[in-house]
Structure 1
């Protein structure tokens, strides 16, 4: 997923150090939660200097956003080639696994929660992740409609909310996400063309 460009305040990053920081942040978030996560702990776990992190990222939120963008791109790509009801159903299943089982999904949930309390986090989260991902999901639905594969009962944005909202809510509650829920959402909101 293309991320919004972000100005960097330091020299070009060493790729191994960058990945070590992202993995450390991911692991520590899963172990300790957002509130206990610190740049100092990330630096220790990654084996880099704290100043190096601050040169590359202004805050732990920015580290987590980079982690989320990278993990989502690899583990949860939005279907772009000829979307069908089945490929969208597959995307929903992948999204449910991502937020319900994958440590990377914990980053998404933590940022969602933090964005409710911190307007700056909310703004960065929308700009760098939520808005670009929403555009990809909207394009997926629009392409499916244009190809005659699906028709929508609601407008694309409301459909996205209705498909993903119950999954996020169950994940936030720590509840399992049953496959029949995903099938019902898909069957009720997307008519096969």
Structure 2
């Protein structure tokens, strides 16, 4: 039986508030374009055509291509879990392994493109900055647990230290060196947790 227009539930924009059906269609289209043609095939115009959505709607919800890419990246990554083994050192190593592993598998190209867009697009820079701040605060749960257990000092600037770990991962991503060994990650974590100064330096 042929469906009439009245039988079909249309996706409609509802102002600044996102319509769930439209949002799903746009993100699905964006993900499909990336999967099929990579970043070269990705544009707001192409996403609008694939999703049968208006460009003004996309730009209302995602002010830049980078903002849309970040949401696609979130969908690829799925819900983020931070290991809770009862040991801060082990949890930090797992965090670094997980992030580098995801980027090596399928998420690195998208995130690299966001960083590249941010170098010339103020809206992309704002989206990336907001994302970076949010993720450093979220991953800070690892150190917060350590504070609760008495492993980490209570006056630590946790988001700042997590930014240090994330910066290592970003640098590895941008230079194509995502294959850091567990021993290297453990060395990094140990250096941060114990400090760099020698015992003799502490005694002075």
TM-score, scaled to structure 2: 0.69
Per the TM alignment, residue 132 of structure 1 is displaced from its structure 2 partner at its CA by: 1.6
State whether structure 2 residue 53 is matched by structure 1 residue 31.
no
Q: CA deviation at 1:49?
A: 1.4
1:15-54 map, 5 Å? 17-27=25-35, 31-33=38-40, 37-44=42-49, 47-51=50-54, 54=56
| 1:78 matches 2:82 | yes
**Aligned-residue RMSD, C-alpha:** 3.2
Query: Which blocks of at least 5 consecutive residues in structure 1 are unaligned?
Result: 1-6
Q: Deviations over 1:100-126 (max 9, x none)?
A: x13223222221222222222111222
In the comparison of the two structures, how many residue pairs are matched? Answer: 176
Q: Which residue pairs with 1:124 in the alignment?
A: 127
Distance 1:167 1:10 in 2: 32
1:131 and 1:168 map into 2 onto residues whose CA distance is: 14
Counterpart check, 1:8 vs 2:16: yes
After superposition, residues 24-173 of structure 1 pair within 5 angstroms as: 24-27=32-35, 31-33=38-40, 37-44=42-49, 47-51=50-54, 54-56=56-58, 57-58=61-62, 59-74=64-79, 76-79=80-83, 84-99=88-103, 101-127=104-130, 129-150=131-152, 155-173=157-175
**Change in 2 beyond 3 A, CA 1:18/1:78:** farther
Normalised to the residue count of structure 1, the TM-score between the two structures is 0.72
Rate the CA distance shift 1:89–1:151 in 2: closer, same or farther, 3 A.
Answer: farther
After superposition, what is the alpha-carbon deviation per residue over 1:106-165, rounded to whole angstroms, capped at 9, x for unaligned?
Answer: 2222212222222221112223x222211112232122122124459x743442233222
- Tell me by how many angstroms 1:54 deviates: 4.2
Q: Which structure would you say has the larger Rg?
A: 2
2:68 counterpart SS class: helix
The alignment partner of 1:8 has SS state of coil
Pairwise CA distance, 1:73:
4.0
Segments of structure 2 that go 5 or more residues without pairing to the other structure are: 1-14, 195-204
Q: Check 1:42–1:186 CA distance in 2 against 1; reply closer, same or farther (3 A cut).
A: same
